[in-house]
Amino acid sequence: MINTGMQKLKTIYSPQFLTDYPTVDCENPDRIEFIHSKIKDIVEFIEPEPCTLSDLALCHSENLIKTVARNKEVYSTAILAAGGAMMAADMALREPCFALVRPPGHHAGHDFNGGFCFFNNVALAIKNLLEQDTIESALIVDIDLHYGNGTYDIVRSDPRITFRNIDAHSREAFFRDLEEALSDGSAYDILGCSLGFDTYIRDWGGLLYGEDYHRIGSSLVSANRRLFCVLEGGYYVADLGTNAQFLLTGILKACS
């Protein structure tokens, strides 16, 4: 049962993320709608603003940006998602924040994209703070089932950013690797999490139970309260909202 007296988590969201833009069937608006309906009582929704061309250029080539811009529906939603992640990172300097956005981003590199991703939301959010000299260091932890190849491509040569990808084949290994990745989390100015729910027991990964996401949320914010999470994968829609609720209540409980 949800504790209605609990503080609410700032959550970046826009109805535009329900746009049925051209992409694969599994990355559909239902993902956002199911999460939105399940977490609405424990969060405070905040409308994002789109990022700018100069923001995109922090991470992406001119050629990639032009390629995405050919489809206006995709482009307008993708720059809003990136702007939402940037807003979440800025808010995280004061309190934990969640970006309920789509399209996802961690498969978008400097001059390539794929895996349902167009622009790299988390990398853009971190690079923006660094560009403004708001932070000096950042840790990105990717808990999605799939390797965040785009994020790695963008941040690998930047000594200010540490990237940790959790790539485990058992529940026990997942939490062991997560604990190791977060062991020095407090040493960084901010912690960004590429939040994938496709590790769920009924999803493609078949690793984690719903309650495990509560533990993950608690572990993340305990490692660094300057935490922002950005939605990536998660395709078992029936339980997607519940899993997000578990994670966010884990964050809130650890903050209380």
**How buried is residue 210: exposed, middle or buried, by Cβ count under 10 Å (0-12/13-18/19+)?**
middle
Residue 4 placed within a domain: no
- Count of domains for the chain: 1
Residue 188 falls inside a structural domain: yes
The answer, yes or no, to whether residue 3 has pLDDT greater than 60, is no
Query: Is the residue at 1 inside a domain?
Result: no
Domain with 151, as residue range(s), is 9-255
CA nearest to 102, candidates 124, 122, 87, 117: 117
Q: Which one of the listed residues 36, 107, 146, 214 is annotated catalytic?
A: 107
Q: Is 107 a catalytic residue?
A: yes
pLDDT tens figures, 58-87: 999 999 999 999 999 999 999 999 999 999
Residue 2 lies in a domain: no
Task: Confirm whether 242 is domain-assigned.
Answer: yes
91-126 tens-digit pLDDT: 999 999 999 999 999 999 999 999 999 999 999 999
Has residue 3 been placed in a domain?
no
Query: For residue 81, what is the domain's CATH number?
Result: 3.40.800.20
Please say whether the beta carbons of 22 and 71 come within 8 A.
Answer: yes
Give pLDDT tens digits for 178-227.
999 999 999 999 999 999 999 999 999 999 999 999 999 999 999 999 99
